[in-house]
Amino acid sequence: MLPPSSKTYSLHLDSSAKISGGNHSAVFDVNWSMLLDDKYDQFTASLAFYTAANYFRDDVMSHAVATVGVEFGARTLSYSTSSSSASAVLGVIRRDTADAASASSILFCTATDNAPVTLSRPSQGVIKFSIRNIADGDVLGYTNAEGIDVNDMPAWTAIITFAPVPESYVGNPI
């Protein structure tokens, strides 16, 4: 187990600020040299993720659970079941009702809901999200208030927190 890090770096992303893709496949520009300290080669990454409230039809809401994969352009050093893609699965998001008076719901996870993923320093200037339904692997969508399928998922916000891995742990089994 890694010791707690005194330093962390947070990347705040909003799907409305993507440079391309849908909300379920958003692409963002990231200046890693401005975000992460250059003296570290490896980091753990934790995810907090929240969608806007929307309507999900229960008969298609095996969408109640989805994975959030992120392609960092970095080597992933943690076990991930996403062997079919270059993305690291940062977390699983789950459904919760937005409020008691509404039929709408949100998909979310907190920073402590999923185990952190260890990765080498990202090298590409873009990151790509892939948000997929666990039941069938399809990209996530939703229905509007009238029950009509919408091809993209609702807007979302993500916070990825990076903690440096101390040099004494790099290359050693944890």
pLDDT band, residue 67 (cuts 50/70/90): confident
pLDDT band, residue 131 (cuts 50/70/90): confident
According to CATH, the topology of domain 9-164 is Jelly Rolls (2.60.120)
Given a cut of 90, is residue 158 above it in pLDDT?
yes
User: pTM for the whole thing?
Assistant: 0.82
Could you read off the pLDDT of 71-83 as tens digits, one per residue?
A: 887 666 655 544 4
The burial class, CB within 10 Å (0-12 / 13-18 / 19+), for 157 is middle
Report the distance separating Cα 72 and Cα 128, nearest Å: 7
